[in-house]
Amino acid sequence: MDLFEILGALTTLAALFSWVNFRFIGLPTAIGLMLIALVFSLVLIALGRMGFGIENEARAILKAMPLDQALMHGMLGALLFAGSLHVNLNELATQGRVIGTLATIGVVTSTLIIGIGASSIGGWLGIDIPFMYWLLFGSLVSPTDPIAVLAALKRVHVPKTLEVKIAGESLFNDGFAVVLFLVLLAAATGADSGETISSGEVVRLLLQEAIGGVLFGLVIGWVAYLMLRSIDDYQIEILITLAVVTGGYALAHALHTSGPLAMVVAGLLIGNHGRSFAMSDRTRERLDDFWELIDELLNALLFMWVGFEVLIMSFEPTRLTLGLLCIPLMLLARWLSVRIPVLVLSRSRTFSPHATAMLTWGGLRGGISVALALSLPESEARPFLVVATYILVTFSVLVQGLTLETVAKRFYGTED
């Protein structure tokens, strides 16, 4: 199948599954699509075992257009930009210390806890892979997924300050986590080939990717703002924002800076400064409608795609056991990585009641973790890490995602 046929098949299935979910199931769209796709995949596997060849064709489609390439080099930029457009910069700034701490120190803390814990579990199961790969696994599953989190927050009632913390952390820790992943991946692959990565190289990578991404986002966001301010034509203005996402993300990748961070920063600048000073009411309305549609469409495709990924997984008993045992480890690591910063920062600021519990349970993992795992080079560790990551993401989206609203109502009722 060529690219157009693959996109046609995925879009058709997304439309069909969305209709089924809306008409008969009633789950939140993203979660409903992932669940239906997962069940559909299991049915295909069962039919394959009965002699039908549909399963092999589905696998061929997934391999022809891999999730990690589609998400990391296409969909992610648009999703992050769309998500950050509606985040209030002033509210974000008031929670800057908390968000910055959770998105950096929190991710590092969780990575270490999961890496050490998973290494112990792996040793008990007889999985003999280098410790650096366990740390790499920790970096895969530690960041909360902005796509999953922002989708969940649309239906959850929590105090506004807590909502800003959850949304802000998910937007920024994604970019930082990708940088951490790249550093650990370089160290792991370097160790395999007998090379070592120096501390200076680590610092250079962090500065180039993280700081470079933020600065690049400011530059392209400001250029786009100046262009938006000089005209009043919503069609051209929407096209400018689309160019920021596509051309800007591609250029960030070419410059070896963090595209995700650049898109978040550009989205915040255009969504706040640009919305207030460079757009007419008509443009704001059309721009919001356009990016809301893009957000919903890409979310539908992404979560359905994650559900289909079970077709290319090999759930051997040891891999399955590793993933299941890492579920409580992931939750513990998330709780500790939130609880410690909250305790330290609570000396100088007030947190909403049950903030630690909500930040822990609302820290959903999603497609980004799966995409990063699938991008790992072939090694003896890869099959274990891919399957374990998929199990953790499935648990996070289907269990945490489906119960998040219930947990929020228990803590805060139905009012903000």
- In terms of Cβ atoms closer than 10 Å to its own Cβ (0-12, 13-18, 19+), residue 222 is middle
| Range from 40-54, 88-102, 108-122, 286-300 carrying the lowest mean pLDDT | 40-54
Sign, Cα dihedral of 294, 172, 270, 152: positive
234-254 and 212-229 helices, crossing angle to 10°:
160
pLDDT score of 411 more than 70: yes
Q: What is the mean pLDDT of the chain?
A: 88
Predicted local distance difference test score (pLDDT) of residue 336: 96
Q: Name every residue whose Cβ is closer than 8 Å to that of residue 402 and which is 6 or more positions away in sequence.
A: 27, 28, 31
DSSP string, 232-256: --HHHHHHHHHHHHHHHHHHHHHTT
Q: Tell me which range, 32-46, 212-226, 306-320, 394-408, is most confidently predicted by mean pLDDT.
A: 212-226
Smallest CA-to-CA distance from 89 within 317, 275, 300, 325 is with 275
Q: Name every residue whose Cβ is closer than 8 Å to that of residue 182 and which is 6 or more positions away in sequence.
A: 205, 209
Q: Which residue shows structure tokens 């059309």?
A: 286
Question: pLDDT digit string (tens) for 144-194?
Answer: 887 777 777 777 778 888 888 888 888 888 778 888 888 888 888 876 656
Please give the model's pTM, rounded to 2 decimal places.
0.90
pLDDT score of 248 more than 90: yes
Predicted local distance difference test score (pLDDT) of residue 27: 87
Q: What is the DSSP letter of 313?
A: -
Question: pLDDT digit string (tens) for 291-331?
Answer: 999 988 888 888 898 898 888 888 899 999 999 999 999 99
Backbone dihedral angles phi then psi of residue 135, each to the nearest 5 degrees: -65, -40
* H or E element that contains 209: none
Q: Name every residue whose Cβ is closer than 8 Å to that of residue 162 and which is 6 or more positions away in sequence.
A: 351, 352, 355, 358, 359
Question: pLDDT digit string (tens) for 278-293?
Answer: 999 999 999 999 999 9
Q: DSSP E strands: which ranges in 62-112?
A: none
> Which pairs count as long-range contacts for 179-183, CB under 8 Å and 24+ apart, including other chains?
179/205, 179/206, 179/209, 179/210, 179/258, 180/107, 180/108, 180/111, 180/139, 181/136, 181/139, 181/140, 181/372, 182/209
Smallest CA-to-CA distance from 306 within 138, 81, 147 is with 147
First-to-last C-alpha distance (Å) of the chain: 49
Helices (H), 126-211: 131-141, 146-153, 160-192, 199-206
